[in-house]
Amino acid sequence: MSKEQFKQVLQKEICRIDESKTAKRHERVIDTFTEDHKAIIEGKPYTLFNSNDYLGLRFHADVHAAETEASLRYGAGPGAVRFISGTTRVYKDLEDAIASFHNREDAMVFSSAFAANLGVIHCMVKGQSKDALVGGDTLIVSDALNHRSIIDGIRVAGLSRENKTIFEHLNCDDLSTILQKHAGTFRRAIVVTDGIFSMLGESQDIKKLQEVTHACDDLYEEGVITIVDDAHGVGCFGETGRGSEEYTGGQCDLLVGTLGKGFGADGGYVTGDKIFIEYLRESAATYVYSNPFSPGTAGAALKAIDIVNGEEGRLLLNTLNENITLFKTSIRDAGFTLAVESFHAIQPILIGDPVKTHALTDALFNQGFLVTNISYPVVPKGRDEIRVQLSALHDNKDIEQFVKACTTCVQH
Ligand SMILES: Cc1ncc(COP(=O)(O)O)c(C=O)c1O
């Protein structure tokens, strides 16, 4: 009987979420894709303007072939966690490729970037165990609008309130003030931020961040360590797809990335100096006690990195950047306002009202376009937006038709 009562509590919570119009569980089911990558939903084609597959690599024939080959060679799954049953060559090759792509000494993969953030932040912030030399005498400083996986990584580390603080969104001067204010109080400081912020497409200035943390390094006995989660940047941002670091000319100590967005595959990673990665391989619970993604996915990701590294990658990045420019010009010419000046494939159209934003997303869906509406509490009240995501798969006609549909839908 008491279990029934718990179910009633859950039912009430579901009703509350439904009433607040923030439900996420009613996911659209895509039955298949057409050859030109339109999603088929209940028999009707839709152009995706809400995908993180910025270069279109998830549909790439060579990526599929590499996935199949790795799966045939190594099996559909990894078999067990790595310290139990060893690892297959494809994961080591992938880790070498990631380290080399980002010009780092070493890299390790996780089942997702979410899992990477949980594992990395927990270990770096709190230390491995009560017996380890690495203790929790840490100040963690986090950008105010960091991704949920970073916030949860900090929560999991379980530091007390005085060990945690946030700096103003994108404000490295504020970060500097905070680091100076706490000098001498903690053994080390860890600064953590998104590279690209997924709601607005803004990029953190990694060069400025590096300068500020470098200047404050001696204020802490064990220095200031920087962790950047560039999930939306890696593969698709910066001149050769190295992400926010390349775009701003800076470098962090530990770079977290995903293989599931710009690289079109799946899984997460962290890359940095060898000693960091060795420590994390020993200590990050989401790595040690959890299977990696499948060998097929590792093969697919390896091929995707190879493509981004080559001539085809340059062409795809060029196309993506041309599409971003065309979209920004056309949507502004049509009288819309962009919520921020983003140079990334994420482009937020400012609508400013939750009901209108919702209605516009629905109207665009009826016109054959998939986009995401974003409202409070994800963005401040009055900053409701339609988040548009460009891809190298779009052609000029897709973008022109989308902008035209936005205009038509707003007029009706
Ligand atoms: C900044 C950021 N970090 C991490 C993630 C999670 O990536 P993954 O899907 O690989 O767990 C996301 C995904 O939305 C993200 O935007």
Contacts of the segment 358-363: beta carbons below 8 A, 24+ positions apart? 358/21, 360/386, 360/406, 360/409, 360/410, 361/386, 363/409, 363/412
Q: Which of 149, 229, 286, 297 for mutating ligand 1's site (highest number of atoms within 8 Å of CB)?
A: 149
* Euclidean distance between CA atoms 110 and 113, whole angstroms: 7
Active-site choice (51, 112, 142, 198): 198
H, E, C per residue of 44-105: EEEEECCCCCCCCHHHCHHHHHHHHHHHHHHCCCCCCCHHHHCCCHHHHHHHHHHHHHCCCC
Q: How far is the CA of 175 from the centre of ligand 1 (A)?
A: 23
Q: How far is the CA of 231 from the centre of ligand 1 (A)?
A: 6
Q: Which atom of ligand 1 is nearest to 117's Cα?
A: 4
Determine the residue type at 76: A
Contact 362, 214 (CB under 8 A): no
Report residues whose beta carbon is within 6 angstroms of any ligand 1 atom. 112-114, 147, 149, 194, 198, 229, 231-232, 258, 260, 268
Least confident of 256-265, 294-303, 375-384: 375-384
Active-site choice (38, 182, 232, 344): 232
Q: How far is the CA of 177 from the centre of ligand 1 (A)?
A: 29
Q: How far is the CA of 268 from the centre of ligand 1 (A)?
A: 8
* Euclidean distance between CA atoms 90 and 69, whole angstroms: 11
pLDDT of residue 21: 75
Q: How far is the CA of 138 from the centre of ligand 1 (A)?
A: 25
Q: Which of 148, 258, 374 for mutating ligand 1's site (highest number of atoms within 8 Å of CB)?
A: 258
Q: Which atom of ligand 1 is nearest to 194's Cα?
A: 1
| 218-228 mean pLDDT | 97
pLDDT of residue 131: 64
Q: Which atom of ligand 1 is nearest to 268's Cα?
A: 10
Residue nearest to atom 8 of ligand 1 (CA): 113
pLDDT 10s digits, 168-197: 999 999 999 999 999 999 999 999 999 999
Q: Which of 146, 147, 193, 234 for mutating ligand 1's site (highest number of atoms within 8 Å of CB)?
A: 147
pLDDT 10s digits, 122-170: 999 877 666 676 777 899 999 999 999 999 999 998 889 999 999 999 9
Per-residue confidence band for 330, with pLDDT thresholds at 50, 70 and 90: very high
* Euclidean distance between CA atoms 304 and 200, whole angstroms: 26
Confirm whether 198 is a catalytic residue: yes
pLDDT 10s digits, 82-117: 999 899 999 999 999 999 999 999 999 999 999 999
Q: How far is the CA of 334 from the centre of ligand 1 (A)?
A: 32
pLDDT 10s digits, 229-251: 999 999 999 999 999 999 999 99
pTM over 0.85: yes
pLDDT 10s digits, 38-85: 999 999 999 999 999 999 999 999 999 999 999 999 999 999 999 998
Determine the residue type at 70: A
Contact 168, 144 (CB under 8 A): yes
* Euclidean distance between CA atoms 146 and 170, whole angstroms: 10
Contact 297, 337 (CB under 8 A): no
Residue nearest to atom 7 of ligand 1 (CA): 113
Contact 100, 318 (CB under 8 A): no
Residue nearest to atom 3 of ligand 1 (CA): 231
Least confident of 33-42, 264-273, 327-336, 367-376: 367-376
